[in-house]
Structure 1
Amino acid sequence: MSGFVDLGIELPARPGALADFGAVLGAARVSLEGGGVFTHGGVGVAHYLVADGERAASALASAGLGRATVSPVVMLRLDQEAPGELGRFARRVADADIDILVQYSDHDGRLVLVVPPDRRDDCAEIARRWDTERATRPQ
């Protein structure tokens, strides 16, 4: 496991919401290691990779920005130069009947996935097998 977790929170769709989010986490000395925020249906949905999810969630709640969720993640590398890698890996996860709830990349180019907590270990095993196969593929 990476030691990182996903920090998820709904932010109001208003100018400054992301600035407030970033300022609160900066003051709490929480570094964002990947992720993003998107507005959908009038709500900003943010998911970021952090090392200390509980500290981040506590800081956001104390600042009145709402209740954040902290979720374990599965991380792996895809071959960025090979078209279709995301689809091939996601198909393996889907074939195992695992729902991908959130997907983004970290600052080091690794794929970050949030799946239902009861399926995290199964998804991590699929990722381990993928990494082993990737390491043995001819370059």
Structure 2
Amino acid sequence: MTVALGVEADISLALPDRAGALADFGDALGRAGVSVEGGGVWVHEGVGLAHFLVTDVDGARAALAAAGLGPVVASPVVSVRLAQDVPGQLGAFARRLGDAGIRILVQYSDHDHRLILVVPDADRPAAEAICAQWERERIARGS
């Protein structure tokens, strides 16, 4: 999947399960001037699974390759703002996606308090429509 320059995308890659792996990742992006807008790393079965939101996919890919990290997979994202002060928002929103048959492949929050989601390509238009409807309802409620 090609992601346009300047468009937010999730980059994912496997990091080694060792001390300093995340520092190597962050240093490489920092030297290249690539800003991370959200994401995280989880170790599962001895592999660091990294997912981060960036707008410079090509810069991130090049910087991480130069640091010996990758390969990097870039995926388009959909995002929505939940009412942070209302309990149950994550469940209610995720239920809408689930009821529509949309699988959530990756979920995290960005630095601007938005829920960031990667969904299968075929499901992205429906997920975007659900996000837009959720936003309209949230704004109408004043939350």
* TM-score, L = length of structure 2: 0.92
Amino acid at match of 1:107: H
1:28-67 mapped onto 2 (5 Å cutoff): 28-67=32-71
Distance 1:88 1:73 in 2: 19
Percent identical: 56
Following superposition, the deviation at residue 120 of structure 1 comes to: 1.2
Counterpart position of 2:13: 9
Equivalent of 2:130 in 111, 126, 132: 126
- 1:48 maps to a residue whose letter is F
Does the C-alpha gap of structure 1 residues 37 and 136 become closer, same or farther in structure 2, counting only changes over 3 Å?
Answer: same
Which of 79, 82, 89 in structure 1 is aligned with 2:83?
Answer: 79
CA distance in 2, matches of 1:77, 1:66: 30
- Note if contact 1:54-1:70 (Cα within 8 Å) is conserved in structure 2: no
Q: Which residue of 2 aligns with 1:137?
A: 141
Q: Provide structure 1 residue ranges, at least 5 long, that are not aligned to the other structure.
A: none
C-alpha distance in structure 1 between counterparts of 2:31 and 2:142, whole Å = 46
Tell me the matched-pair count: 138
Q: 2:94 aligns with which of 63, 74, 90?
A: 90
- Runs (4+) of structure 1 exceeding 2 A deviation are none
CA-based RMSD of the aligned residues comes to 1.3
Query: What amino acid is aligned across from residue 53 of structure 1 in structure 2?
Result: V
Structure 1 residue 62: Cα displacement: 2.5
Give the drift of 1:138: 5.4
CA displacement 1:1-34 (0-9 Å, x = unmatched): x931111111010011101101111111100011
